[in-house]
Structure 1
Amino acid sequence: MSLLADPSVILAAENAISGNIATVGYGLAVLGPGIGLGILIGKTVEGMARQPEVAGQLRTTMFIGVAFVEVLGLLGLITGFLFT
């Protein structure tokens, strides 16, 4: 009896994991911006606590940095859709 005619082999092939590696890639692409945002916002809050008089300048700079970091996450999402 050949392996192709064996019903257990056919059933195992049907239940195999299928999908695209791009979904895993997007999951990994989110890690970098997530860690970056945590560090960026944490350090900004720390700076505001140390010098409250420059809170406005720190907040403005933080939002510009957040925009750049978010672009990385969006690029990961777009790349995931382009290569699927």
Structure 2
Amino acid sequence: MSLGTGLALMGAALAAGFAAIGTSIGNGLVISKVMESMARQPELSGQLRTTMFIGVGLIEAVPIIAVVVSFLIIAQG
């Protein structure tokens, strides 16, 4: 394995790892704020829950894209 291939594999692994870390932090922040909002205004809990699921779904798209890009980097290496 050449140095360039090794660095490409390392970069792919780091990209997927950092995307997972960032996503978990983002999901935690979103869910904590939604829970706080539900505690303040329980009558809006249905709307808040729906909006939360949409937001979490969009946040979860980031690591999926990062893993796909990582697989593409690995396939080229």
What TM-score bracket applies, with the shorter chain setting the length? 0.7 to 0.9
Deviations 1:31-80 (A, max 9, x none): 21111100001100110011100000000000010110000110111111
Over the residues paired in the alignment, what is the CA RMSD in angstroms?
1.3
Q: 1:75 aligns with which of 53, 57, 65?
A: 65
**TM-score, structure 1 normalization:** 0.74
Identify the structure with bigger relative contact order (alpha carbons < 8 Å, sequence gap 6+).
2
Structure 2's unaligned 5+ residue stretches are 1-5
Q: Give the count of matched residue pairs.
A: 67
Identity among equivalent positions (%) equals 45
Q: 2:42 aligns with which of 25, 44, 52?
A: 52
Between Structure 1 and Structure 2, which shows a larger proportion of helix residues?
2
Structure 1's unaligned 5+ residue stretches are 1-17
Q: State which structure, 1 or 2, has the greater radius of gyration over its C-alpha atoms.
A: 1
- Which aligned segments of 4 or more residues in structure 1 are displaced greater than 4 angstroms? none
**TM-score, structure 2 normalization:** 0.80
